[in-house]
């Protein structure tokens, strides 16, 4: 009888053979993309996105096309046609919470009046609590070290708590979406507490959500052991949620919602697919890359206030001699934005205010120096006509750090915000387009005959 070590050795040998076969037969030669005129990553050769659909939810503007040529332009983000700058600036002085208003705008296509917003907030409050036994059975008994993974599994389980999970009538879609938007902050907060307790060996705190305070305050209330937060902290997190609520239909997770929804499947499956997309480091996980890079910078720079030392470090990053040797300065550059990312512009000023309040302006200056020096280095390398700007991930990580939010919550908070956009895209797809999204692929391999077993080598 073979021993366990024998089985493991055999498995290792078998795995290497399978790895060799995989490497041999699963890599598409780069020249085939050009040969068949394939839009790699659904991007045109000039860097613009390939048009694959229509959405009225939000629009991202980062450049102009002049005679087919991409020309840099100031970045703009529109929610249902309303400029994000207007949404934020026209409410800056009254301390008003904006996230719930933004959710209403994205879902229903217009700004709510006072009564509509009050009724909507009441409805969200009514669904913040999780179903009976859900916290104990789904979150505490099956904790996860990754909160995005916990969020995916929890949403799939909510399917079982829905009496009409597959019903596509608009009334049912709206109810499902509102419940998800209300419950996801609670799931994320409790998922964090379970992770903190079972994996980090800390005390367990489960705080019931509060009514009448909104999503941002509820998150701070539920993730902190003492429930305490300042007005500035609450308004800052509320702003961050607004800025992350949607980003056009072309981003990876929103596209996933459209693709999966087009099959006619249920809301829970479509939203879970979007969460899986956002979990990736090229999408929602990018702010963690910024955070990790900044930690590496701190370990390799003796004085974070010294611009010359920061420049020396970033030069090594660009030359692929530091951090992850990718040559990328995380937090700089975007697929659409060229001159500016409006979310980064807005969040940078909020970060400056929060840093001043907390006595951490030196930390803010570090991020600002990384932005300014990094952009200069990348333009010098790529050419002075190369248009690049700081993206929202550079300053979102800083804001979360100033809010004392743990790193493992960065991407889940992105999901909390983007749930509004995903649900809006879900409703739009189901109501507007009944055709299943089915792109075409080409196979470059030559045809071959089937070889009987006896004749195979």
Question: What distance in Å separates the CA atoms of residue 22 and residue 219, rounded to the nearest whole number?
Answer: 44
Write the CB contacts of 223 (distance below 8 Å, at least 6 apart in sequence).
Answer: 189, 192, 193, 405, 406, 409
Whether the CB-CB separation of 110 and 56 falls below 8 Å is answered with: no
Neighbours of 72 (CB within 10 A): 17
Residues annotated as catalytic are: 334, 393
Largest CA distance in the chain: 80
Instruction: Measure the CA–CA gap between 377 and 380, rounded to whole angstroms.
Output: 5
**H-type alpha helices, 27-112:** 30-35, 84-89, 99-108
As a whole number of angstroms, the distance between CA 162 and CA 317 comes to 50
* 3-state SS class at 60: strand
**Which residues, at least 6 apart from 237, have a Cβ–Cβ distance to it below 8 Å?**
216, 219, 220, 403, 413
In whole angstroms, what is the distance from residue 253 CA to residue 413 CA? 15
- Cross-strand bridge partners of residue 82: 79
In angstroms, the CA 317 to CA 306 distance is 17
């Amino acid at each position: 009888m073979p021993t366990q070590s024998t089985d493991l050795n055999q498995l290792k040998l078998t795995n290497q053979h399978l790895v060799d076969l995989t490497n041999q037969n699963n890599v598409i030669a780069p020249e085939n993309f050009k040969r068949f005129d394939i839009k790699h990553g659904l991007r045109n050769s000039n860097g613009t996105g390939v048009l694959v659909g229509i959405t009225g939810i939000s629009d991202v503007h980062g450049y102009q096309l002049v005679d087919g040529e991409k020309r840099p332009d100031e970045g703009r983000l529109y929610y249902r046609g309303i400029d994000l700058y207007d949404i934020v600036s026209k409410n800056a002085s009254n301390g008003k919470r904006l996230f719930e208003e933004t959710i209403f705008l994205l879902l229903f296509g217009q700004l709510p009046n006072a009564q509509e917003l009050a009724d909507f907030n009441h409805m969200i409050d009514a669904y913040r609590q999780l179903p009976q036994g859900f916290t104990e059975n789904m979150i505490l008994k099956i904790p996860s070290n990754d909160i995005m993974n916990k969020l995916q599994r929890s949403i799939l389980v909510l399917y079982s708590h829905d009496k009409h999970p597959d019903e596509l009538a608009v009334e049912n879609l709206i109810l499902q979406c509102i419940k998800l938007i209300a419950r996801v902050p609670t799931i994320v907060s409790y998922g964090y507490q379970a992770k903190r307790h079972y994996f980090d060996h800390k005390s367990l705190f489960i705080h019931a959500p509060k009514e009448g305070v909104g999503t941002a305050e509820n998150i701070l209330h539920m993730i902190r052991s003492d429930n305490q937060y300042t007005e500035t902290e609450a308004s800052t997190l509320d702003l961050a949620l607004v800025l992350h609520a949607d980003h056009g239909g072309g981003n990876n997770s929103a596209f996933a919602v459209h693709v999966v929804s087009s099959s006619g499947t249920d809301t829970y499956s479509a939203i879970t697919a979007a969460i899986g997309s956002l979990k990736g480091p090229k999408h929602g996980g990018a702010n963690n890359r910024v955070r990790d890079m900044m930690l590496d910078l701190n370990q390799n720079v003796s004085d974070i206030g010294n611009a010359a030392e920061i420049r020396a470090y970033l030069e090594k990053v660009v030359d692929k001699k530091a951090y992850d040797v990718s040559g990328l300065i995380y937090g700089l550059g975007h697929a659409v934005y060229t001159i500016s990312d409006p979310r980064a512009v807005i969040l940078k000023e909020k970060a400056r205010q929060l840093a001043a309040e907390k006595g951490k302006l030196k930390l803010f200056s570090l991020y600002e120096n990384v932005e300014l020096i990094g952009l200069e280095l990348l333009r010098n390398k790529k050419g002075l006509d190369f248009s690049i700007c700081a993206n929202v991930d550079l300053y979102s990580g800083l804001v979360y750090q100033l809010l004392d939010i743990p790193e493992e919550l960065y991407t889940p908070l992105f999901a909390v915000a983007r749930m509004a956009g995903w649900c809006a895209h879900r409703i739009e797809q189901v109501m507007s387009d009944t055709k299943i999204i089915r792109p075409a692929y080409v196979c470059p391999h030559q045809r071959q005959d089937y070889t009987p077993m006896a004749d195979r080598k």
